Amino acid sequence: MQNSTSTSSLWRPWTPITQQANSMRIVEAKGNRVRDAEGKWYLDGISGVLNASCGHGHPRLIEAATRQFQQLVHYDPMVSTHDPAETLASRLAEIAPGELNETVLTNSGSEATEAALRIALQYWRNNGEDRNRVITFEAAYHGTTYLAQQLSGLPFTVSEWAPPFPVDHVSLPASPREIRTEEGADALIGLFTRALEAGPPAAAVMVEPLLGLGGCVVLPAGFLARLRKLCDQHGALLILDEVFCGFGRTGRMFGFDHDGITPDIVTLSKGISGGYLPLAAVMVTSSIKETFIREPIAQGLRYGHTTGGHAVAAAVGNTVLDIMADEKLVENSAAQGATLLKGLGKLESSPLIADVRGLGLVVAIEADAPESAAAIAEATARAGVMTRHERGVIRIAPPLTLTDDDTAEILQKIGTAVEDADAARR
Ligand SMILES: Cc1ncc(COP(=O)(O)O)c(C=O)c1O
């Protein structure tokens, strides 16, 4: 039957139905480039869905997946275990700091948030304490399941349904540019202090190391260390959402490594499988897991999915770690990111640009208005570089395999797009 709302029967999420018909169709991707149905190649400035950290079509990832497909696709994670998931969990424990030794594998970042919250809330029950209040940033994005969506106060994602537990949102006390100053950092910590002091004892504070969808806001240096201290003073768990920042995106293996802290719980996805297959993880400290051994919940975690820790996805995850080490992707992220940030920072002299910020290979250009951001991003795409813009902020998060030539191309094409938009304004 003819579809009445658009020319496609595919209902894509987070996209107005009236806009679905005009979308670009991507048909091929290799290395750091993608091709559309018209045959035009683009430098992929957004790593697929911000997850293709090893680039596209990497032969080692294809080979790892093929080998695992041939040996064992997957098997019931409730009654058995398999080598790819066991190996991934122990390798994650090796690279994570401190007591973060225990891993639950899921399929998506939202499921990782869901599992992290259930573990955090159950942890307090296990300890005989009735804590269920969770504190997050208002500009947070932690995913789209019922629980995960409750954590965000962003107008475009805020849930219409009541949360099953109290959530307190901390708003940014200043603009993203001002927040990076010493005064901005103090004001921010002041708001988290107040949120922890007001109301019943908090179960957990959950934050991203960099507010991705909330405007690509780079948090002040040292903020996470101060938040860690604050959580310890109030006995609240600190949950770090590393779904976007983890696996080298910010120029360190994890975003929290910049501050040298160990969170109590960490959520991971995106870069964990380089986007090749659905995979996510929740890492918790051994002392949190130990509370699940006690009665009456000695049956363990009452949460899991059929394909959680899928053998092929886990095999890919193990090879991602090999590639990251062999190709020095964390180091490359830091180096190319610094060049990009320095080069794009020069655009701040344009009246169209309000702020340029970044950490590793995530750089944001905040325009003076959403229309300017759209015009610059569209011109950049026409020139052959894919970026993403939301609410006046252009986000660039290319694969961590970015080369010097790729970085130069991004700088040149975005620079020209800003110059042209500037000239058109006059
Ligand atoms: C920081 C963060 N947390 C959680 C999620 C949710 O992940 P998923 O889309 O895989 O459910 C995202 C997705 O963009 C994210 O950026």
Contact (Cβ atoms closer than 8 angstroms) between residue 216 and residue 210: yes
284-295 mean pLDDT: 91
Same domain, 366 and 315: no
Confidence of residue 19 (pLDDT cuts 50, 70, 90): confident
Helix, strand or coil, per DSSP, at residue 377: helix
Cα of 407 to ligand 1 centre, how many Å? 26
Answer yes or no: is 6 within a domain.
Answer: no
Same domain, 232 and 272: yes
- C-alpha triplet 108, 266, 104: angle, nearest 5°: 55
Task: Convert the pLDDT of each residue in 327-343 to its tens digit.
Answer: 999 999 999 999 999 99
Cα of 270 to ligand 1 centre, how many Å? 8
5-23 mean pLDDT: 79
The mean of the pLDDT values for the chain is 95
275-293 mean pLDDT: 96
Task: Convert the pLDDT of each residue in 89-130 to its tens digit.
Answer: 999 999 999 999 999 999 999 999 999 999 999 999 999 999
Cα of 143 to ligand 1 centre, how many Å? 5
11-36 mean pLDDT: 89
Cα of 109 to ligand 1 centre, how many Å? 5
Binding site membership of 142 for ligand 1 (Cβ less than 6 Å): yes
User: Which element (helix H / strand E) includes 340?
Assistant: helix 329-345
Task: Convert the pLDDT of each residue in 141-151 to its tens digit.
Answer: 999 999 999 99
The domain boundary, picked from 269, 300, 326, lies at 326
243-249 mean pLDDT: 98
Answer whether residue 20 shows pLDDT above 60: yes
Same domain, 310 and 336: no
Same domain, 347 and 284: no
Task: Convert the pLDDT of each residue in 43-64 to its tens digit.
Answer: 999 999 999 999 999 999 999 9
Answer yes or no: is 270 within a domain.
Answer: yes
Same domain, 165 and 307: yes
Answer yes or no: is 347 within a domain.
Answer: yes
What's residue 166's pLDDT?
A: 97
Which is the closest atom of ligand 1 to the Cα of 270? 10
Q: State the CATH number of the domain containing residue 120.
A: 3.40.640.10
Structure tokens at 338: 């610094």
What's residue 413's pLDDT?
A: 98
Contact (Cβ atoms closer than 8 angstroms) between residue 196 and residue 228: no
Task: Convert the pLDDT of each residue in 203-215 to its tens digit.
Answer: 999 999 999 999 9
Same domain, 47 and 117: no
User: Which element (helix H / strand E) includes 167?
Assistant: strand 167-170
What's residue 320's pLDDT?
A: 98
Distance between CA atoms of residues 377 and 137, nearest Å: 27
Alpha carbon nearest to ligand 1 atom 16, residue: 244
Same domain, 65 and 139: yes
Structure tokens at 195: 């949120």
The domain boundary, picked from 296, 326, 356, lies at 326
DSSP string, 228-271: HHHHHHHT-EEEEE-TTTTTTTTSSSSGGGGGT---SEEEE-GG
Q: State the CATH number of the domain containing residue 387.
A: 3.90.1150.10
What's residue 43's pLDDT?
A: 98
Nearest to 217 by CA among 65, 401, 354, 76: 354
Task: Convert the pLDDT of each residue in 77-91 to its tens digit.
Answer: 989 999 999 999 999
Binding site membership of 380 for ligand 1 (Cβ less than 6 Å): no
Distance between CA atoms of residues 63 and 316, nearest Å: 9
Cα of 247 to ligand 1 centre, how many Å? 14
What's residue 3's pLDDT?
A: 57
Answer yes or no: is 288 within a domain.
Answer: yes
Contact (Cβ atoms closer than 8 angstroms) between residue 349 and residue 420: no
Nearest to 380 by CA among 403, 413, 336, 331: 413
State the residue range of the domain holding 104.
61-326
What's residue 132's pLDDT?
A: 96
Same domain, 155 and 280: yes
376-395 mean pLDDT: 97
Answer yes or no: is 7 within a domain.
Answer: no
Confidence of residue 1 (pLDDT cuts 50, 70, 90): low
Answer yes or no: is 209 within a domain.
Answer: yes
Answer yes or no: is 155 within a domain.
Answer: yes
Same domain, 277 and 408: no
Confidence of residue 289 (pLDDT cuts 50, 70, 90): very high
What's phi and psi for 134, nearest 5 deg?
A: -120, 135
The residue with tokens 């709302």 is: 5
Same domain, 358 and 374: yes
Answer yes or no: is 224 within a domain.
Answer: yes
The domain boundary, picked from 326, 350, 384, lies at 326
Same domain, 275 and 297: yes
Binding site membership of 141 for ligand 1 (Cβ less than 6 Å): yes
- Helices (H) then strands (E): counts for the chain: 13, 17
Same domain, 313 and 177: yes
343-369 mean pLDDT: 97
Structurally, the chain folds into a number of domains equal to 2
Binding site membership of 352 for ligand 1 (Cβ less than 6 Å): no
What's residue 425's pLDDT?
A: 82
Answer whether residue 6 shows pLDDT above 70: no
398-406 mean pLDDT: 98
Answer whether residue 224 shows pLDDT above 60: yes
